[in-house]
Amino acid sequence: MRGKLRVFLCSRIPEEAERYLRSRCRLEIYRGEELIGRGRLLRAVRDADGLIPTVTERIDAGVMDAAPRLRVIANYGVGFNNVDVGAATARGLPVTNTPEVLTEATADLAFSLILAASRRLGEGERYVRAGRWRGWKPTQLLGRDVFGKTLGVLGMGRIGQAIARRARGFSMKVLYSDARRAPARLERELGVRYVSLGSLLKQADILTIHAPLIPETHHLIGAAALRRMKRTAVVVNAARGPIVDEGALAAALRAGRIAAAGVDVHEREPAVHPELLKLENVVLLPHLGSATLETRTAMGILAAKNCLAALAGRRPPCLVNPEVWRGRGRG
C-alpha cells in the first residue's frame, strides 16, 4: 500500500501525527493559514483515496461526488456534525471520528470555563491589562462560589462523565439530563442524579453542555430555557455552538436574566456573535476544548489509524456508520 494510496488532510496537525501518516501513505496537506475554501477542497479530493477533514470542513454530498476514488472520511474530531453521514452511508463510505482521546482535555477546558465565568477571570485579566487596578478592595470583581454548588450537566456521555468526576473534587451536587438515562451503576459511581431538562434548568447554579449537535439539540438552550434558569446561573458551552441560541444568550446576559457564561464553541465559527463580544460577563474562547499538544497528537494518530484501516480493507476502530461495513466480512 505504501506510496500508493493518497490521503488528503484538510489542515496541519501536530508533527508526530503528520509523520505517522506520511510514513504510511501519500499524504497531501492543506497548509494555508485560512480554513480551506470550498473550491480548493473540491479540487483536492478529486484523486484522494482517504480524506481527513477537521470539525470545521463541511463534507457534504457535493464533496463526496467530487471524489470518485474516496474510500473513507476520517474526521479529526469526536463530533462529526460537519459530515453528512447519511450521504456517506448512501455511497457506502465509512465515516470515522476520534472519541476518548480528547475526553479529559475537553473536560479540563469546560471546567476552566466554569471557574473563569463564575469567578470573572476574563474581566479581571482585562482590568489588570488596562491598567485600571488601583489596589485590593473587598467588593472588587466579586464572582460566585463554585465549590459546593449544583452543577447541571446536559449530556452524560464521556465528557459529561469526566466533568462529573471533576465536580466531586469541588463538593458539587451533580444533576444531569440526557436523552438516555445512564445505568444505575454509573450514576452511583459518579454520584449524579438524573432529572428532566426543566428541572435541570431550574436547579442548576451552573449548566454545562456536553451533548452532540443533532436536530433535537439545535437551539435547545434558547430564550425559553434561559428564562427557566436562576438569575445567578452560569452557562458553559464546550460542545457545539448551535446547541445554544447565541442571540438569546446575549440578551439574557445583558438583561441579567443569568449571571455569566463561558463559550468555547460558536454558532458560525469562526464568527463570534457581535452581541456577545460587547458583554463583560461572558468568557469567549476559540474552540479550544481539545487543544493540548498531547490530545491533538493523539487525535491525529487515531484519525490516521481509522483512515489507514479502511484503506487496507479493515474495519476502522471508530466507525460511526457501521451499516456500511455489513457484508464486508470480519476484517
Stretch that binds ligand DGY, among 73-81, 120-128, 178-186, 312-320 (CB under 6 A): 73-81
Give the number of other Cβ atoms within 10 Å of residue 198's Cβ. Answer: 11
By CB under 6 A, is residue 242 in contact with ligand DGY? no
CB of 183 to ligand DGY, least distance (A): 24
The contacts of residue 291 (CB under 8 Å, 6+ apart) are: 105, 109
CA distance 318 to 190: 26
CB of 47 to ligand DGY, least distance (A): 27
CB of 84 to ligand DGY, least distance (A): 16
Stretch that binds ligand DGY, among 44-52, 56-64, 75-83, 243-251 (CB under 6 A): 75-83
Q: Which sequence positions are flagged as catalytic?
A: 240, 269, 287
CA distance 280 to 81: 30
In the chain, DSSP assigns E strands to: 6-9, 26-29, 50-52, 72-74, 95-96, 150-154, 173-177, 192-194, 206-209, 234-237, 260-263, 282-284
Cβ proximity to ligand DGY, 41 vs 109, nearer residue: 109
CA angle 189, 193, 199 (to 5 degrees): 165
Cβ proximity to ligand DGY, 201 vs 320, nearer residue: 320
Site for ligand DGY in 263-322 (CB under 6 A): 289-290
Phi, psi of 307 (to 5 degrees): -65, -50
By CB under 6 A, is residue 55 in contact with ligand DGY? yes
By CB under 6 A, is residue 79 in contact with ligand DGY? yes
- The answer to whether 56 and 83 have CB atoms below 8 angstroms apart is no
Cβ proximity to ligand DGY, 161 vs 203, nearer residue: 161
Number of C-alpha atoms within 13 angstroms, CB side, residue 74? Answer: 29
Stretch that binds ligand DGY, among 76-84, 164-172, 214-222, 319-327 (CB under 6 A): 76-84
Binding-site ranges for ligand DGY (CB under 6 A):
55, 77-79, 102, 289-290
